[in-house]
Structures are given as C-alpha cells and as structure tokens.
C-alpha cells in the first residue's frame, strides 16, 4: 500500500472508515444474535442438525465484499495520491563531446569516438520529447553543433557526423555550452527562476588550449549549471600517428593517450555534477541512462481517486453477481 499511495489530500475524511468499522461490528453482532435466536426456537431434536449445518460462508461473502467496497470509497473520498515520474518540460541538456584526435584510440571498441557517438545518440533518443537538447563539439576550439531544441532527431544526426581534430579545449566547451543555455527556448518559471539545465561533458583528456578549466567552473557555478563529466577510455589507450607532414613525429608512430580523470572529476565536484569513469561503451550507456533519468524526469504527486472508485465498482459488481447466483437477489 505504501508503494501505491503516497498520501491523501484530506486525511480527516478517512474518519469515514469508522462508519465501515461500525457496520462490520454490527453485522457480526447481528449474526451471533441470529444464531442464538435460532437455537432458542429450535426443538431439542433439531440441535444435532443445527450444530452440523453449513456455516453459511456464502452469506458472508457479499457482506465482506460490500465492506471492502465501502473501504475503497472511503479512501477515494480522502483523495489519495501517489508519486509518479513526469518529464521536466523546461529542462535543457547540453551534450559536449570531445572530438580530439585521442578519441580515435581503439581501447574502447571499435574506437572511443565511435562508441561515444553510439551511446550519445541512444541517450538522446531515450530522453523525454519535451526536454531540450543541444550539442557542442570541442577539440582545439568549441562550437555549438545544434542549439537547444526538442528536435532530438536533429541532434542525433549531428552526433553521427562529428569529425576529429587536434587539441583539447574543455574550458571553452563549458563556456560555449553555458552561452547556449542562456539562449535556450525554455522560459523562467513564475518565480523568475531559470529553467533546470545540465551540461554533460565527455572527454578522455585534459585542457591543452583555450581558457582554463577553473574559469569555466566559476562561470558554471555563477550560472547555477551543474557539469557532469565522463572520463572515457582506459590507461592503455594509444593512437597510431599517420600524418607525414608533421616533422616532429614519425609516420605510423604509436602514441600513448591514457585517459585523464583528475581534472574531469574536479569539474564535476566543484559544479555539483556527477563524475563517471566509463571504461567501455556499455558503462558509458549506463552513465547516460543515469544522467537522463536525473535531468529528464521529476517526481510529482498525482491524484488517483478514480483508481479506488473503479476498484469499488468492480467489487460491488462482483458481489451483486454472486448474490444473484446464490440467493436470487441483490445484497
């Protein structure tokens, strides 16, 4: 019952249950008096047959059903409610994906970037339709690929076409995401509070160019936006360099690109977001599922009076049917 009902809007109305209790007690008393009266009227020769007679359970069933229906109606009068998950229509999520060259590492099958794209697209597809989603891609610089929109198909198509480039600018990615959130279509509520928002930043490295992470963190705190970060990859990640035009490196040289988690963990902690270390595509999907449920829904109370009225109707209908079948009359 605790899972079904969170509470009632009019607790005092539950006092009507005392009426049901009084009727049940009256019924029991009358049944005992009836049995005593029958024994008094019966002759001595009938005592054995009365003692072994059917206890009349069929006569009790309609009474029990009637009381149960009254209990359900009494609860309905008190206007019960329960907690349900409801989409947050005003919420906005900015997804910032690292497209630096290190995301080409194959320690996550088939590559970090391919696994990240697949998980990100599935994440967007499963978000509530009313939730605004935007996309930022960042390498040496950050840019808005899709501004916040409820057109989730547009976001998934943009994720699919992301391409890799040099360097990593995590700080710039946060600044660009914050700018996009200021222009999100969701308006402030009746109290003037901004719509709920979160940045989900996926990266395997640390900032090498652009504004420092510390400045971006301070801007996110001032704007009241939590940044959840996902460190994607393993300590064994490598890429094979194949650009002969760069003189400092040898063609086909193997370059280690271990995942860096310290800065990402700090960003999440300081902004009030969540940090996750996703070492595989399956773990990344679980991370996205968790973030999606956190920003995509909220628990609200919903009145379920009609549930109890409907249940009472079903019980009364069943009682009436049994009474007609057994006694050829309504209770």
For the chain, where are the E strands, in sequence order? 7-8, 80-87, 92-98, 132-138, 142-149, 197-203, 226-232, 238-241, 253-256, 275-278, 297-303
Asked whether the predicted pLDDT for residue 2 surpasses 50, the reply is: no
- pLDDT tens figures, 271-317: 999 999 887 777 777 788 788 777 877 778 889 999 999 999 999 99
> Residue 111: pLDDT band by 50, 70, 90 thresholds?
very high
- What is the value of pTM for the model shown? 0.67
Sign of the Cα pseudo-torsion (241, 243, 244, 249, in order):
negative
- pLDDT tens figures, 249-268: 555 678 899 999 999 999 99
Q: Give the pLDDT score at 186.
A: 65
Task: Round the average pLDDT of the chain to a whole number and report it.
Answer: 84
Residue 105: half-sphere exposure toward Cβ, Cα within 13 Å? 24
> Residue 245: pLDDT band by 50, 70, 90 thresholds?
low
The residue among 300, 129, 295 whose CA lies nearest residue 196 is 295
Q: Running DSSP on this structure, what letter comes out for residue 206?
A: -
For the stretch 208-243, what's the b/e string if a residue is b when 16 or more beta carbons lie within 10 angstroms of its beta carbon? eebbebeebbebbeeeebbbbbbbbbbeebebebee
Pairwise pLDDT comparison (45 vs 240), residue with the higher score? 240
Residue given tokens 């008393």 in the structure block: 29
- pLDDT tens figures, 8-46: 888 888 888 888 888 888 888 887 776 665 555 555 555
Pairwise pLDDT comparison (322 vs 281), residue with the higher score? 322
Helix (H, G, I), strand (E, B) or coil at 34: helix
Residue given tokens 């996205």 in the structure block: 288
* Structural domains in the chain, sorted by start: 7-83+302-327 (no CATH), 88-279 (3.40.50.410)
- Report CA-CA distances (Å) from 265 to 205, 227, 238, 278: 12, 10, 22, 12
Pairwise pLDDT comparison (185 vs 113), residue with the higher score? 113
Asked whether the predicted pLDDT for residue 243 surpasses 70, the reply is: no
Lowest mean pLDDT across 20-24, 57-61, 322-326: 57-61
Q: Give the pLDDT score at 8.
A: 83
CA angle 77-22-307, nearest 5°? 25
Q: Give the pLDDT score at 1.
A: 41
- pLDDT tens figures, 228-237: 999 988 999 9
- pLDDT tens figures, 174-185: 999 999 998 887
- pLDDT > 90 in the chain, percent: 44
Pairwise pLDDT comparison (4 vs 101), residue with the higher score? 101
| CA pair distance 312, 308, nearest whole angstrom | 6
- Is the distance from CB of 135 to CB of 143 less than 8 angstroms? no
Asked whether the predicted pLDDT for residue 189 surpasses 70, the reply is: no
- Report CA-CA distances (Å) from 143 to 109, 153, 168: 27, 19, 13
CA angle 168-171-176, nearest 5°? 105
**Residue 257 φ then ψ, to 5°:** -135, 65
Q: Give the pLDDT score at 144.
A: 97
- pLDDT > 70 in the chain, percent: 85
CA angle 121-127-128, nearest 5°? 150
Tokens of 314: 């079903």
């Amino acid at each position: 019952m605790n899972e079904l009902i969170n509470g009632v809007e009019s607790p005092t109305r539950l006092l009507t249950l005392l009426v049901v209790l009084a009727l049940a007690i009256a019924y029991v008393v009358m049944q005992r008096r009836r049995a005593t009266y029958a024994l008094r009227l019966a002759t001595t020769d009938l005592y054995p047959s009365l003692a072994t007679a059917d206890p009349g359970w069929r006569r009790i069933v309609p009474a029990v059903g009637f009381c149960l229906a009254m209990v359900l109606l009494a609860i309905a009068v008190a206007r019960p409610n329960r907690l349900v998950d409801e989409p947050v229509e005003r919420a906005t999520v900015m997804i910032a994906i690292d497209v630096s060259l290190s995301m080409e590492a194959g320690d996550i099958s088939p590559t970090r970037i391919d696994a990240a794209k697949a998980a990100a697209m599935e994440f967007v597809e499963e978000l509530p339709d009313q939730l605004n989603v935007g996309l930022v891609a960042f390498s040496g610089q950050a840019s808005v690929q899709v501004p916040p929109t409820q057109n989730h198909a547009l976001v998934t198509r943009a994720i699919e076409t992301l391409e890799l480039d040099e360097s990593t600018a995590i700080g710039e990615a946060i600044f660009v995401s914050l700018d996009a959130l200021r222009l999100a279509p969701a308006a402030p509520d009746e109290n003037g509070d901004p719509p709920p928002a979160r940045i989900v930043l996926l990266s395997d490295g640390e900032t090498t160019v652009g504004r420092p992470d510390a400045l971006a963190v301070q801007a996110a705190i001032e704007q009241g936006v939590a940044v959840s970060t996902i460190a994607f990859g393993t300590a064994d990640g490598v890429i094979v360099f194949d650009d002969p035009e760069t003189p400092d490196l040898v063609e086909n040289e193997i370059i280690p690109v271990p995942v860096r988690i310290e800065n990402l963990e700090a960003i999440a902690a300081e902004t009030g977001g969540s940090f996750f270390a996703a070492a595989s595509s399956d773990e990344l999907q679980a991370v996205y599922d968790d973030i999606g449920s956190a920003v995509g829904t909220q628990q609200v109370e919903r009145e379920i009076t009609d549930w109890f009225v409907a249940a009472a109707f079903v019980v009364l209908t069943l009682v009436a049917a049994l009474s007609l079948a057994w006694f050829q009359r309504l209770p």
